[in-house]
Structure 1
Amino acid sequence: MAKTADQWFAEYGESHRNPTNKAIHWVAVPVIFTTIIGLLWSIPTPAAFDSVPYLNWATLALVVTTAWYVHLSPPLGIGMGLFSMLMVLAISAFEQTGLMPVWAASLLLFVIMWILQFVGHHIEGKKPSFFKDIQFLLIGPAWLMGFIYRSLGIRY
Structure 2
Amino acid sequence: MSKKTADQWFAEYGASHQNPVNKLIHWICVPLIFVVIMGLLWEIPVPAAMATVPYLNWATLSAIIVVGFYLNMSPSLAIGLSAFTLATYALLAWYEQQNGWPSLWLVCLVGFVVLWVFQFIGHYIEGKKPSFFKDIQFLLIGPAWLMGFIYRRLGIPYS
TM above 0.5, yes or no, is yes
TM bracket, shorter-chain basis: over 0.9
- 1:59-98 pair list within 5 angstroms: 59-98=60-99
- Provide the secondary structure at the position in 2 that maps to 1:134: coil
What is the identity, as a one-letter code, of the residue corresponding to 2:156? I
Q: Residue 145 of structure 1 aligns with which residue?
A: 147
Aligned to 2:12: 11
Where 1:97 maps in the other structure, the secondary structure is: coil
For residues 25 and 31 of structure 2, what CA distance do their matches in structure 1 show?
A: 10
**Residue in 2 that maps onto 1:134:** 136
**2: CA distance between counterparts of 1:92 and 1:105?**
14
CA–CA distance in 1 between the matches of 2:63 and 2:150? Answer: 21
Runs of 4+ in 1 over 4 A off after TM superposition: none
Partners of 1:79 and 1:107 in 2: CA distance: 26
Distance 2:141 2:18 in 1: 16
Matched residue, 2:51: 50
Q: Following TM superposition, by how much is the alpha carbon of 1:51 offset from its aligned partner in structure 2, in angstroms?
A: 2.7
Q: Which structure 1 segments of 5+ residues have no match?
A: none
The residue that corresponds to 1:107 in the other structure is 109
Q: Distance in 1 between matches of 2:150 and 2:52?
A: 36
Aligned pairs, how many?
156
> What's the Cα RMSD here?
0.7
For normalisation by structure 2, the TM-score amounts to 0.96
Counterpart AA for 2:104: V
**1:7 Cα shift?**
0.1
Percent identity of paired positions between Structure 1 and Structure 2: 60
Shift, 1:48, TM fit:
1.2
